[in-house]
Amino acid sequence: MYVLALNCGSSTLKFQVFDTDTHTPVFKGNAEKINEFGSFIKYKSDSNSGKKDIQMNNHAEALSSVMDLLKENGISLSDIAAVGHRVVHGGDKFACSVEATDEVIKTINDLSDLAPLHNPANLTGIVAAKEVLPHAKQVAVFDTAFHQTMPDYNYRYAVPTAWYRELGVRKYGFHGTSHLYVSKRIAALLGKPASECNIISLHIGSGASACAIKHGYSIETSMGMTPLAGLVMGTRTGDLDPAVLFYVKEKLGLSDNLILEVSNKKSGILGITECYADRRDVEEHLGDNEGCRLAFEMESSRVKKFIGSYIAAIGEPVDAIVFTAGVGENGFMLREQICSNMEHLGIKLDKEANNKAATFLGAGETEISTPDSKIKVFMVPTNEELVLVEDTLAILNGTYNSDHLKMNYSFVK
């Protein structure tokens, strides 16, 4: 029996087929350039990999093409018992994963104003999967769910209460499945129950967010009502005085849509360097490009500030800091810069261990702090798809617990 994990973007469809007995992927890939010229599917299994050029004009066609590809590679569609869908924004309506009923689908659609770049694409995947795999249970797994344990004094903004009450203006947070996964892996590595662990989780990829996790629960996170807030990111601004946008809009005569596009797609590391969004390019040119030096120091400084504030927010001894996601797992130079001059807070990095801790070098979960570091530092590869699959399987089997500390995840052991 299989569970299919789907992550639909505006023009992409990432998929993984998991064997429910082993909880491991047997087939995975990515459909790209959907509704564009030259669309294609890249795929990989233990015994086969390749690229298939095929015109896909919408997500329904893309999913149908993926299904054909699965059958060509010996996976029977009748053996797919459930489909788990990543949904970016669940607002305050969903504090856990749920079956994607018609009512749930309507609510996700109603929340699209909060995530216009993400939720509509996620919804198209759910609707397409219901048509192509009508026998399979559809499950929605929300990026925002993990952060619904934040106290109100952390998730509320200092704006008129009517904005919160009537418009839902508040912090929601994202990357929840990643923060959940790595926090539980850290607890396992520490040999303690997650409920006894205080962790600062740093998910640093093209998008990036920090999360303060106290006794296993999220109490604060850097992203806000949308994924635009917080850390300096590949192409997103991170925290910004909102008056800047009004000032620039007036001075340059820009439209609201263009301001939003620049804030999301042309700012961050790309905006500072004017040519690079990939941290590997930034690190390669640190010595000969002033923009790269500045971007590197701005990003590391912002992360440092969040670490310090989250140590204060947790208010108890912090057990560990964990780096994850593409940059967090491979950017050993950035990790070193972030952890530098933090000894007074009990953070001491082992430079040799840090330099070897990269997934592109084949490294797995690695402690990268010195033995005498009061706060341990780890690199842990994230596995958001496994959270998605195990939530989906638990809902399918009737064993799901909405309190994630009480869920019997395989990766907790």
Give the number of other CB atoms < 10 A from CB of residue 13: 24
Phi and psi at 50, nearest 5°, equal 175, -170
First to last CA, the chain: 23
* 148-155 long-range contacts, CB within 8 A, separation 24+: 148/92, 148/94, 148/95, 148/218, 149/95, 149/217, 149/218, 149/219, 150/218, 150/219, 150/220, 150/221, 151/219, 154/219, 154/220, 154/313
Rounded distance between C-alpha atoms, residue 205 and residue 279, angstroms: 9
- Residue 146, SS3 per DSSP: helix
Determine if residue 170 is left, alpha or beta; phi over 0 gives left, psi from -120 to 50 gives alpha, anything else beta.
Answer: beta
Rounded to the nearest 5 percent, the helix, strand and coil shares of the chain are: 45, 20, 35
All residues at 6 or more sequence positions from 72 whose CB lies less than 8 Å from its CB, including other chains: none
- Tell me the helices (H) and strands (E) count for the chain, helix number first: 15, 14
Token pair of 336, please? Answer: 């070193």
For β-strands 13-19 and 24-32, DSSP reports them as antiparallel
Identity of the residue numbered 50: G
- Residue 45, SS3 per DSSP: strand
Rounded distance between C-alpha atoms, residue 155 and residue 146, angstroms: 13
| Helix ranges restricted to H, 27-151 | 59-72, 102-110, 119-132
Q: What residues act catalytically?
A: 143
**188 with 309: CB under 8 angstroms?**
no
**Among candidates 188, 243, 207, 202, which has minimal Cα distance to 338?**
202
Phi and psi at 67, nearest 5°, equal -60, -40
Give the number of other CB atoms < 10 A from CB of residue 320: 24
